[in-house]
Structure 1
Amino acid sequence: MKVLETHFVKVIETPIRLQEYAVGIFKTTSTKSSLKKAIKKGVVKVNGKTATTALHINEGDTIELFQLEEKAQKKHFNFTLEVLFEDDYLAIIYKPAGILVSGNSFATIDNALMQNLQKSTSPNTTRPRPVHRLDYPTSGLLLIGKTTESIIVLNQLFEKKEIQKTYHAICIGKMERNGEINFPIDDKKASTSFEVIQSIESPRFAFLNLVKLQPKTGRKHQLRKHLFSIGNPILGDKEYFLENKVLKGKGLFLHASTLTFTHPFSDKKITITKELPKKFKKIFP
């Protein structure tokens, strides 16, 4: 392993736990969560020994952060991705519906990135990684970090809610023209604003609505759960649905259409939009 950063503990009155003391001392693990992950991966050493979260730090200690060596993949997932934006720091790609972003499966977006993106010329280049998730049945824009620093900074932008995501969905049933859904998910605050762009009558579903969605929080399955909670589930959703109102064989009608944020390294405003899939246009031409 290669040393990324070193910190020398100068003056400290009483011993303090590593996971409390070390927050913010390294640029590449500036948050508490990222530091905790680094310690669990065994890439933090104190006085030359692998550290634990329970270890206490004393005056005169040396804390080192190491770069975890990437295991060479024997096989690459040969899958062509549409790249809508790319520079030395980050990329935005289109994730089709029906593929995992990451995980234990071989056929993931994560495993296809190396073949689709150019290697960064930055000194802290690393294997490109997705910095957020989209559900398996959801299509749309996915933000990718290409350097160690950009992955950390982009995660921080998400935590600070400085990256705006816009989705489009087709929902079932009669809806208000616009509104905000504030319904806790897993006992945590969750908020989504919605706007109905167009509605049509449907013999089977009474009404179908093309809806613009902007999540203000990022809970798991938030949009799907929120729309189901107001009685307007997303068309094709097999997990959150009304009885006898499940459309089978067409997939989930949920699409991550726009990403808007300030580029953390160039300070330029980035707005990337991906048009709605063909199955949306068949219902709303």
Structure 2
Amino acid sequence: MQLVETFIAKKIETPIRFQEYAVGVFKTIPTKSGIKKAIKKGLVFIDGTLATTSKYISGGEKIELFESEKSSTFKRLKLDLEVLFEDDYLAIIYKPAGILVSGNKFVTIANALSQNLQKSNQPDAVKPQPIHRLDYQTSGLLLVGKTSSAIIKLSELFQNKEITKTYHAIAIGKMCLGGTINLKVDNKNSSTQFNVLKSVISKRFEFLNLVELKPKTGRKHQIRKHLSCIGHQILGDKNYGNELLKLKGKGLYLHASTLEFVHPFSKKKIFNTKELSKKFKKIFSSVIPNEE
């Protein structure tokens, strides 16, 4: 057998069964079912002894994962993610455009979280899980829960509208300086505040506008639908708006810029910002400053 990964367990207050503790420990096995299969095949050792699902972990143990020399046992997803904030309960990562958050595909943000985040030492630690969605074409900040209690608490913060999300988009056409869009999305009341930060003249589109947006509700494709409904579709949007104004090959100019909320456990204010990408900068010189 060949050694794949080695992990030294951190000290924990209450010992926990290895089967539960090991979820998220190995980058190549993110699920509990995968851990069980590896143990059953004799590929996991704890302090040099063959691991069992009933073994308790208290901290300091050397945990080793092997794979058979005859075949590659685990299909590995190699996807490096930028981690902007992380503690034992949650993380904030940058999602690049062109990658699914989750789903049936192999290459998703959800499948890459375990290899990019540290294993939580909390007794209810689970495989890291995205708390909300970002469209396939949208870049920006994504909030992740690392424990069962954190996932519940963060979901409640979203439901109670206690997490402030700010987006930036490039919208087409001559716009007013700002306002609130109150239009139903999927027959549900929806509201988005917007503020035009800068406008430039465009030969093809008349005007292009750098717009800051704060959705007050979280409907699917809300920002894209709202801007399209008032006649200012997002540059690069192939689904909503005038067919003649659709831009091909450049992607969607929509970015989840900031996340702001009170940490449900530490009670500290969390504020994270991710600057606009190069394609935004090519059109507008003034962008969101980096977080200090």
TM-score by length of 2: 0.73
Counterpart of 1:121 in structure 2: which amino acid?
Answer: N
Match of 1:70 among 8, 23, 32: 32
Q: Name the structure 1 match of 2:125.
A: 125
Structure 1 residue 160: deviation in Å?
A: 0.3
The C-alpha deviation readout for 1:170-189, integer Å capped at 9, x for no partner, is 00001010000000011100
Q: Name the structure 2 match of 1:146.
A: 146
Counterpart of 1:124 in structure 2: which amino acid?
Answer: D
Counterpart of 2:131 in structure 1: which amino acid?
Answer: V
The whole-number CA distance in structure 2 between the counterparts of 1:257 and 1:91 is 16
The whole-number CA distance in structure 1 between the counterparts of 2:77 and 2:132 is 20
The whole-number CA distance in structure 1 between the counterparts of 2:243 and 2:107 is 33
Structure 1 residue 121: deviation in Å?
A: 0.5
Structure 1 residue 243: deviation in Å?
A: 3.0
Q: Name the structure 1 match of 2:284.
A: 284
The whole-number CA distance in structure 1 between the counterparts of 2:242 and 2:249 is 17
Secondary structure of the corresponding residue to residue 169 of structure 1 = strand
Contact 1:238 1:246 in 2 (8 A): yes
Q: Name the structure 1 match of 2:207.
A: 207
The C-alpha deviation readout for 1:200-237, integer Å capped at 9, x for no partner, is 11000000000000000000000000000000000000
The C-alpha deviation readout for 1:71-119, integer Å capped at 9, x for no partner, is 2183332100000000000000000000000000000000000100000
The whole-number CA distance in structure 2 between the counterparts of 1:200 and 1:211 is 12
The whole-number CA distance in structure 1 between the counterparts of 2:97 and 2:146 is 23
Contact 1:172 1:207 in 2 (8 A): yes
Contact 1:257 1:273 in 2 (8 A): yes
Secondary structure of the corresponding residue to residue 279 of structure 2 = helix
Structure-to-structure mapping, 1:45-56, within 5 angstroms: none
Gaps of 5+ in 1: 1-68
Structure-to-structure mapping, 1:181-192, within 5 angstroms: 181-192=181-192
Q: Name the structure 2 match of 1:244.
A: 244
Counterpart of 2:236 in structure 1: which amino acid?
Answer: G
Counterpart of 1:152 in structure 2: which amino acid?
Answer: I
Contact 1:183 1:189 in 2 (8 A): yes
| Misfit runs of 4+, over 2 Å | 73-76
Alignment: residue pair count:
217
Gaps of 5+ in 2: 1-30, 36-73, 286-292
Q: Name the structure 2 match of 1:261.
A: 261
Structure 1 residue 242: deviation in Å?
A: 1.2
The whole-number CA distance in structure 1 between the counterparts of 2:33 and 2:231 is 47
Secondary structure of the corresponding residue to residue 33 of structure 2 = coil
Q: Name the structure 1 match of 2:38.
A: none
The whole-number CA distance in structure 2 between the counterparts of 1:70 and 1:284 is 47
The whole-number CA distance in structure 2 between the counterparts of 1:119 and 1:135 is 27
User: Structure 1 residue 220 and structure 2 residue 220: aligned?
Assistant: yes
Q: Name the structure 1 match of 2:83.
A: 83
Q: Name the structure 1 match of 2:234.
A: 234
Q: Name the structure 1 match of 2:159.
A: 159
The whole-number CA distance in structure 1 between the counterparts of 2:134 and 2:253 is 13
The whole-number CA distance in structure 2 between the counterparts of 1:76 and 1:254 is 30
- Calculate the aligned-residue CA RMSD, in Å: 1.0
Structure-to-structure mapping, 1:6-25, within 5 angstroms: none
The whole-number CA distance in structure 2 between the counterparts of 1:249 and 1:220 is 23
The whole-number CA distance in structure 1 between the counterparts of 2:270 and 2:114 is 23
Structure 1 residue 241: deviation in Å?
A: 2.1
Secondary structure of the corresponding residue to residue 112 of structure 2 = helix
Counterpart of 2:252 in structure 1: which amino acid?
Answer: L
The whole-number CA distance in structure 2 between the counterparts of 1:75 and 1:112 is 12
Secondary structure of the corresponding residue to residue 142 of structure 1 = strand
Counterpart of 2:195 in structure 1: which amino acid?
Answer: E
